[in-house]
Structure 1
Amino acid sequence: MSSLDDTEDVALDFGSEDDWRRHRAVRYPGAAFFHLFFRIGAVVSYLFCSFYQTSFIINFIIILFFVSLDFWTVKNVTGRLLVGLRWWNHIDEDGTSHWVYESRKGSKKNTETATEARLFWLGLVIFPLLWVIFVFVNLFSLRFAWLVVTIVALMLSGANLYGYIRCKVGSKKQLSTIATQFLGQQMMSRAMASATGAGGDSG
């Protein structure tokens, strides 16, 4: 029986980089290009497919083609090259499923450039948000066939987002701790603001 909670965080070693790459704002322009190309292609195909193709099946195949290529590219290539992160799954001989979240550690931990990191994370976050909007638009307009398309796209892009967040912050326990700390800080800030406001009113 597989277990989704059995996770492992390991170091990711890329070997030595060429010196000429280290001083460039974008060290892997090909990876940076394809990190956005398939995502943009999927969204553009979804928005404008009715103008160049009337068959829903063909439109579905085109969008699914872009979404699938995007999922594979981001999961296996661009995350590893642009920000030094990678997530994957392997199954033991006894059938136990292990989710592995890899990241650069030690002296190679922060070797990515600010431009690469910004491009990677913006692309990773913005497009799932777009698919969320498309899901709700189709849901409220009762376009159930297109709803299926947007849900598939959201699931694949959301899986990469979740996987790389796990790589970035570590184990699930660390992730929940960060969320708890954030909520605690927000509640404390609101309490302090309320107390300050009450004190000002009484004065």
Structure 2
Amino acid sequence: MMRQDSNEDEVSLFDAEDDEARKPKKSKIKHPLACFFHLFFRVSAVLAYLLCEVLSSSFIGCMVTIILLLSSDFWTVKNITGRLMVGLRWWNQVDEDGKSQWMFESRKGSETNPPSGSESRIFWLGLVVCPIIWVLFAFSTLFSFKIKWLAVVIMGVVLQGANLYGYVRCKVGARTSLRNVATNYLGRQFFKQAMAKPAES
């Protein structure tokens, strides 16, 4: 697993928006089209799943529509909106030995030109909430015995969960274990509480 920062010698994927970012912007949302499509495919897939049996009697048509929406969402979030809205990117590549490596990249110079706070909130809210919704759909499918929908729901959990996992790894660092991050956070919270109690008494 590797983490990369874009070098000045290499052609960066972020050059075009860096030039645009230097221009003064009136709106807090720098990429409204990216924000729209970040949520459009996700919300459309959820609505299609909820309304499919009401609007159509064809299970195959509904299944294909939902899977196309989920796939479009996966590709859009992984390749476009993550890069534009929060300056993060992840991918998998196979080296000459045939070993698979996960690559995580963050935009160089994000300290001088940070992503918009509004865009960042929209990105992370959509990225976290939708996989939770699909997990709830998975449980409801199992308990209501709608087994024919299980493949569609699992596809939703896997595709949206993969994007969530990839971007969380980008955010916390490729070399940092997510377990270590959670342990360190809980340890700091426990330490703060332990130190606060003697001060109050």
Q: What band does the TM-score fall into relative to the shorter chain?
A: 0.7 to 0.9
Task: Say if 1:34 and 1:73, in contact at 8 Å, map to a contact too.
Answer: yes
Q: CA separation in 1, counterparts of 2:113 and 2:128?
A: 21
Aligned to 1:4: none
> Is 1:119 aligned to residue 122 of structure 2?
yes
Aligned to 1:68: 71
User: Per the alignment, do residues 43 and 96 of structure 1 end up closer, same or farther by CA in structure 2, a change over 3 Å counting?
Assistant: same
Q: 2:3 corresponds to which letter in structure 1?
A: D
Aligned to 2:50: 47
Q: CA separation in 1, counterparts of 2:27 and 2:158?
A: 34
Q: CA separation in 2, counterparts of 1:109 and 1:175?
A: 27
Aligned to 2:182: 179
Aligned to 1:167: 170
Q: CA separation in 2, counterparts of 1:53 and 1:107?
A: 46
Displacement over 4 Å in runs of 4+: 107-110, 186-193
Q: Identity rate of aligned residues, in percent?
A: 49
Q: CA separation in 1, counterparts of 2:195 and 2:159?
A: 41
> Is 1:139 aligned to residue 142 of structure 2?
yes
Gaps in structure 2 of 5+ consecutive residues: 7-11
Q: CA separation in 2, counterparts of 1:29 and 1:190?
A: 42
Counting matched residue pairs gives 191
TM superposition score normalised by structure 1:
0.84
Deviation, structure 1 residue 70? 0.1
TM superposition score normalised by structure 2:
0.85
Gaps in structure 1 of 5+ consecutive residues: 1-6
Aligned to 2:4: 10
Task: Say if 1:21 and 1:27, in contact at 8 Å, map to a contact too.
Answer: no
> Is 1:34 aligned to residue 37 of structure 2?
yes
Cα RMSD of the aligned pairs, angstroms, is 2.3
Q: Please state whether the residue corresponding to 2:176 is helix, strand or coil.
A: helix
Aligned to 2:80: 77
Deviation, structure 1 residue 174? 4.7
Q: CA separation in 2, counterparts of 1:160 and 1:146?
A: 22
Q: CA separation in 1, counterparts of 2:126 and 2:24?
A: 22
Map 1:83-102 → 2, pairs under 5 A = 83-102=86-105
Q: 1:165 corresponds to which letter in structure 2?
A: V
Deviation, structure 1 residue 182? 2.0
